Amino acid sequence: MQRLNINDTLNRILKKWLSACSVFFKIMIPVSLLVKILEETGLMHYVGYLLSPLMQPLGLPGEMGLVWGVTMLSNIYGGLLTLSSLQLDGAMTVAQVTTLTSLMLFAHTFLIEIPICVKAGCKFLPIFLIRFVSGYLFALITAQICMRFSLCTSTVSMMEFTQTSSSWLEWGIGEVKKYITIALVVLSLVVLLEILERIGFLRFLEKVLSPVVGFIGISPKVVPITIIGMTLGLAYGGGLIVAESKEKPIAKRDIFLSLAFLSLFHSIIEDHLLMIGIGANAFFVFVLRFVFSILAMFVIKYLYDNIDKLTSRFKKSLRSR
């Protein structure tokens, strides 16, 4: 009987691991190839040109549109590499760096993270709008606060990020190493969740955090995975939600609200320390962003629960005209 339980546990872990990894790699491999082609052909720059008009209200040079565009299509490190390669007229202030990094923290790695959210059961447009609009709105609030109260006016010596050109073979080897690392991380997370469930810690965590997360709409059932997403990243949280939903039912509302919150506030260790390290103000990018994310969740929860009523009212108002 004990051997049977061990076999069942190992089979369940293997099934979850393969399910989560398949979500990652089915999306990451073609997207990585697409991003490499965009970089090699120079097409990545055109996205930046489209975004440059949005930079002026934020008090940023138009070139920062390119940085944000690369960040959304590739990742935060790609955006920082682009930033370090730009020839800017004068140094950036802490306020400008904080505003730019706010954009990057909210909206990055769209081509991988949003499809993972879609795979988990969300629709593309809501998740995209949550990240893009919230990112721009928070950056605008940050810029206006800094300008109105003359905050963060000191200049920043930007970190140097070196980017060595690599052949397609070197790039491919690097990608394989990255995928192996991701697979090992996912396996460790699946095993950790299994252990925590066996010892009853997940049930304890649900009871403790239920009052805290309930008011922003997140179900206690997805709290452990949400915490993983907050610490390690949205992709990991989304991938694990897909794997968990195949084993036990998770309501669409719980999935959406969990991923909506992770879209606003995730990877709180690596990403935030990186941005603070290059000169961003810690209070704005961490504390104020967390408060903004909680407030945004109230709005998102209300819209999700009342979308049918709001749509009906909107249609009636159009007809009355």
Classify residue 43: in a domain, yes or no.
yes
pLDDT given at position 3: 52
Question: For 91, which DSSP code?
Answer: P
In the block, which residue shows the tokens 């915490």?
227
Classify residue 274: in a domain, yes or no.
yes
Residue 85 clears pLDDT 60, i.e. is over it: yes
pLDDT given at position 16: 80
Residue 35 CA: distances (Å) to CA of 31, 43, 147: 6, 10, 36
Q: How do beta strands 155-156 and 92-93 pair?
A: antiparallel
Q: Which two tokens stand for residue 108?
A: 């990055």
- Nearest-angstrom CA–CA distance, 94 and 311: 42
Classify residue 245: in a domain, yes or no.
yes
Output the average pLDDT for the chain.
84
Dihedral sign, Cα of residue 228, residue 234, residue 235, residue 237: positive
Q: Give the domain range for residue 139.
A: 2-156+169-320
Dihedral sign, Cα of residue 170, residue 176, residue 177, residue 179: positive
- Nearest-angstrom CA–CA distance, 129 and 138: 13
- Nearest-angstrom CA–CA distance, 273 and 101: 11
Classify residue 149: in a domain, yes or no.
yes
Classify residue 199: in a domain, yes or no.
yes
Asked if 47 and 69 count as a contact pair (C-beta separation under 8 A), the reply is: yes
pLDDT given at position 289: 95
Please name the residues in contact with 12: beta carbons below 8 A apart, sequence gap of 6 or more. 194, 247
Classify residue 164: in a domain, yes or no.
no
Instruction: Please state the rounded mean pLDDT for residues 88-97.
Output: 86
Lowest mean pLDDT across 291-295, 297-301, 314-318: 314-318
**Model confidence over 7-52: pLDDT tens digits?**
777 888 888 888 878 877 887 788 788 878 877 787 777 878 889 9
Q: What amino acid is encoded at 310 in this protein?
A: L
Asked if 194 and 9 count as a contact pair (C-beta separation under 8 A), the reply is: yes
More confident residue, 293 or 244: 293
Asked if 118 and 127 count as a contact pair (C-beta separation under 8 A), the reply is: yes
Classify residue 301: in a domain, yes or no.
yes
pLDDT given at position 39: 73
Percent of the residues in the chain that have a pLDDT greater than 90, as a whole number = 35
How many domains does the chain divide into? 1
Classify residue 162: in a domain, yes or no.
no
